[in-house]
């Protein structure tokens, strides 16, 4: 049985993912990369062209071999392997729904288990470290004004880097009580208030913002006056974090490090975890609970609010006399005979 695999893939990416599931463009690109790698691997392994591949060629055996290839040859981590598998599972679920005749093969592929991964503790910055990072940009230059506004907005909102990259001028409100509207995962919108310091930094940046295309409404621009990307923001954070007093053993500072920092500082300020979850745009509050696991100061304050147990002091244990007596039984081989009670001798009977 052959199948129009390209037709399935085109509908999967053009209609199902963006329209039915409402995934962001970044999520769609991640799925695209996974399927591209699978198609190339299958074509090389089966010695076919990509155009000649059918659904039957993407068997459970081929998918398992592809996952091994990711880890052994491409040296991908288990997390990356699981992310690729999730994209493949989603594709086969779509194919089975479009054509139920592929349901048996879909079930086999979708039953491939995810690998267990280590739970990495979230890294965040302490108050002194984040202040050093915010003070690093040179405010006498246009790039420094942009970077200061960008760093403050990241820390103020705890936004994902994709949310910052996607910001438009219309998403800002700087008159009165400043606020920004963020578009998160699944095209869900949330609004965050802004500190007066963030508003002032944004106004200073906007006063000298000069896009290459006057019609460009992207909030942050790169050195070429084009919309800044995720890797550009990561590069800025890497450069400025190297100017702080952070120890060399500390993990690199990324946009998600700033997000973790915002979450931790909000929790340590005494905010309810449900409100912090809403602030960060978490779909599941259990995601926010992970931050409670890494703050020992917060745990210590929680413990101090609870009275400790008042346990009674037990007397020191001593060995009972009977045990001492039993222990003495092994002191010598004739102990039992020596301590046997004496009996009267029998009287002699006359013959």
Active site residues: 160, 185, 256, 259, 282, 291
CA dist 244 → 112, 128, 134 (Å): 45, 10, 10
3 state DSSP class of 203: helix
116 Cβ partners below 8 Å, 6+ apart? 78
DSSP conformation letters of 279-342: HHT-SSHHHHHGGGGS-HHHHHHHHHTSPPP-PPPPPPP---HHHHHHHGGGS-TTHHHHTSPP
Rounded to an integer, what distance in angstroms lies between the CA atom of residue 166 and that of residue 13?
21
186: left (phi over 0), alpha (psi -120 to 50) or beta: left
Q: What is the helix, strand, coil percentage profile of the chain, to 5?
A: 55, 5, 40
Q: Are 8 and 55 in contact (CB under 8 A)?
A: yes
Closest by CA to 169, choosing from 225, 209, 222, 201, is: 209
Between the alpha carbon of residue 293 and those of residues 67, 116, 164, 263, 300, the distances in Å are 32, 20, 27, 12, 12
**Rounded CA gap, 339 and 334, in Å?**
9
CA 156, 206, 255, 161 torsion-angle sign: positive
């Amino acid at each position: 049985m052959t199948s129009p695999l390209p037709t399935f893939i085109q509908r999967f990416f053009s209609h199902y993912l963006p329209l039915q599931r409402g995934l962001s463009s970044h999520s769609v690109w991640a799925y695209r990369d996974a399927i591209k790698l699978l198609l190339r691997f299958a074509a090389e392994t089966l010695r076919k062209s990509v155009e000649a591949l059918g659904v039957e060629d993407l068997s459970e055996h081929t998918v398992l071999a592809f996952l091994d290839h990711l880890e052994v040859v491409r040296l991908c981590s288990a997390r990356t392997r699981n992310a690729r598998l999730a994209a493949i599972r989603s594709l086969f679920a779509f194919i089975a729904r479009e054509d139920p005749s592929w349901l048996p093969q879909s079930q086999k592929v979708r039953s491939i288990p995810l690998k267990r991964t280590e739970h990495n503790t979230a890294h965040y910055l302490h108050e002194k470290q984040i202040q050093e990072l915010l003070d690093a940009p040179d405010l006498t230059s246009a790039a420094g004004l942009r970077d200061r506004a960008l760093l403050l907005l990241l820390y103020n909102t705890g936004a994902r880097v994709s949310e910052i990259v996607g910001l438009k001028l219309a998403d800002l409100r700087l008159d009165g009580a400043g606020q920004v509207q963020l578009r998160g995962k699944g095209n869900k919108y949330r609004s965050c208030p802004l500190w007066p310091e963030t508003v002032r930094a944004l106004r200073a940046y906007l006063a000298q913002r000069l896009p290459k295309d006057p019609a460009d409404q992207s909030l942050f621009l790169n050195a070429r006056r084009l919309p800044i990307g995720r890797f550009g923001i990561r590069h800025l954070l890497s450069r400025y974090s190297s100017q702080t007093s952070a120890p060399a053993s500390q993990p690199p500072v990324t946009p998600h490090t700033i997000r973790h920092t915002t979450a931790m500082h909000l929790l340590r300020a005494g905010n309810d975890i449900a409100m912090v979850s809403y602030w960060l745009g978490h779909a599941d509050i259990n995601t926010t609970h992970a931050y409670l696991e890494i703050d020992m100061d917060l745990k210590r304050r929680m413990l101090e609010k609870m009275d400790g147990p008042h346990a009674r002091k037990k007397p020191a244990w001593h060995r009972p006399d009977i045990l001492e007596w039993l222990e003495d039984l092994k002191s010598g081989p004739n102990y039992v005979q020596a301590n046997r009670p004496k009996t009267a001798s029998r009287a002699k009977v006359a013959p």
